[in-house]
Structure 1
Amino acid sequence: MLNEIKKDAQTRMAKSVEAFRHDLVKIRTGRASTAIVDHLKVNYYGSDMPLAQVATVAVTDARTLTITPWEKQIVGAVEKAILASDLGLTPNTAGTTIRLNLPALTEERRKELTKLVHSESENAKVAIRNIRRDANQQIKELLKEKKVTEDESGRMEAEIQKVTDSAIKDVDEVVKAKEQELMAV
């Protein structure tokens, strides 16, 4: 029973770290990546579809993305989705091909993005600590119901803390890697 609580906490913490990693992909670094436009939705015949389901997205060079819609009619819808997004990029259209040029990041913008990364990391750490709190609460309930001893309870809480420390260390490593990526010119 205690091992199940620990495994559940480990799994949920790993998912939190992975979700944090996925969120950081959206923060652009100056290098082109198809992940920058993954979250865009395009109005396609009355329903919102992910961009990847209506167009091919490719990295042309270090600072250019090329989007090629599968149907000529939706080029305008893709442009609208890009303009309406939080990317701050202007699409250049030539026929059925849309190019997104990623400008070089200024020093000031790099620092802003670093602050954003740190704020996102705090959110991930809070989520991890909440998982720890939930696991410890479950252990205390088992202790209250006399299904485990005081020693087992203390030992398991210590193990949960080790798992928590490990997950927070993973978040810090992800932050450090993203910072280096952002500050690289």
Structure 2
Amino acid sequence: MPQYNKSDLERRMAGAIEALRGDLTGLRTGRANVQLLDPVMVTVYGANMPLNQVATVSAPEPRMLSVQVWDKTNVGPCDKAIRSAGLGLNPIVDGQTLRLPIPDLTEERRKELAKLASKYAEGARIAVRNVRRDGMDSLKTDEKKGEISEDERKRLETEVQKMTDSTIVDIDALATSKEKEILGQ
């Protein structure tokens, strides 16, 4: 049975793009985005839980996030978790609601975030190239075993390369778009 599996390669390349989307979503752009708090974990009821499982996060204004904590005993832990998450946000406690003003980004911080976005993109490109290498290796193995001809291997290698190129174009587009958003262009 041939080792080469096109759908597996496509799935893994799509996974690299989804991972990049997740990484880029967590980067602050100076605009309120409810996904900004996705990585925040709160210690409540003796366990670590994502913030969105103990509160409702919304963006009532372009520069303000609102976190409506469901159980008032969890307000303190939520406040602490947001402050210690390294997002540069300082919650204002208002009963069971935490208001998070989104501060303006300094030019220096914008450049740092843009560099981080391109670093994430490079990581995704590397992941895609590794998937391509695995695909090429399995095609060579299939040819050595006599399961496919040399012509078939070359045709499939071209297919894998096209898939790789297309995925890298998508990665570049995502990164460029996020960098422009961060730099306010």
Same fold (TM over 0.5): yes
Structure 2: state its 5+ residue gaps: none
Q: How big is each residue's C-alpha offset from its partner over 1:94-115, in whole Å with a ceiling of 9 and x where there is no partner?
A: 1111111111111111111111
Residue type of the alignment partner of 1:36: L
Q: What pairs up with 1:44-55 in 2 under 5 angstroms? A: 44-55=44-55
The TM-score normalised by the length of structure 2 is: 0.96
Q: How big is each residue's C-alpha offset from its partner over 1:86-130, in whole Å with a ceiling of 9 and x where there is no partner?
A: 212111111111111111111111111111111111100000000
Ranges of 4+ aligned residues in structure 1 off by more than 3 Å: 1-4
Residue type of the alignment partner of 1:129: R
Q: How many Å separate the matches in 1 of 2:60 and 2:13?
A: 36
Q: What pairs up with 1:31-110 in 2 under 5 angstroms? A: 31-110=31-110
Q: How many Å separate the matches in 2 of 1:112 and 1:47?
A: 33
- State the partner residue of 2:150: 150
- Size of the aligned set, in residue pairs, is 185
Q: Secondary structure at the match of 1:8?
A: helix
- Verify the 8 A CA contact 1:2 1:156 in the aligned structure 2: no
Q: Secondary structure at the match of 1:65?
A: strand
User: Could you tell me how far 1:2 is from its partner in structure 2?
Assistant: 6.8
Q: How many Å separate the matches in 1 of 2:4 and 2:87?
A: 42
- Verify the 8 A CA contact 2:42 2:50 in the aligned structure 1: yes
- Verify the 8 A CA contact 1:44 1:77 in the aligned structure 2: yes
- State the partner residue of 1:182: 182
Structure 1: state its 5+ residue gaps: none
Q: Percent identity?
A: 45
- State the partner residue of 2:166: 166
User: Could you tell me how far 1:169 is from its partner in structure 2?
Assistant: 0.3
- State the partner residue of 1:18: 18
Residue type of the alignment partner of 2:59: V
RMSD: 1.5
- Verify the 8 A CA contact 2:3 2:139 in the aligned structure 1: no
